Structure 1
């Protein structure tokens, strides 16, 4: 019997996607004009944070880091978003 071990391809995070890396947004959340087009925003939001256009604390007012930000950050290997105040706005996935 031959056993093959290999890396398994992981589906990348997608807005309204399925699976463990799905990125979810609360229903009824409006998309600000500066988030459009979404693909450009996805690539450039880190630069906007670094410039000081806004802070991570401002992000968590609309984004749940556990179901949004950190899904992508985990996939691409960037630091997790950790804002203690986020727990005031969002229920942790671990506490469902």
Structure 2
């Protein structure tokens, strides 16, 4: 059974951390990649076209999760990530569509 890493509840997602997370070009690209799929994706470095190290990618995933933009699931040694599209849409209608356009 997968466990979910700590993340803010829907009602606790705040606009400033969300915008700060999305302001970074690498994190914005990661969110764009996640927005293309419905299913969770692996957090592994080889899954994304970004020129960074694995520890840096891990940092970016943490920032996105703590801002409330993503959910991370852990199954054994594998981590899966998905965009919290519905939660972000409920808090800030149209934000993701505008940022991803």
TM-score, L = length of structure 2? 0.31
Considering fraction of residues, name the structure with more strand. 2
Structure of higher CA gyration radius:
1
Give the alignment's TM-score, normalised by structure 1.
0.32
Q: Which has the higher helix share?
A: 2
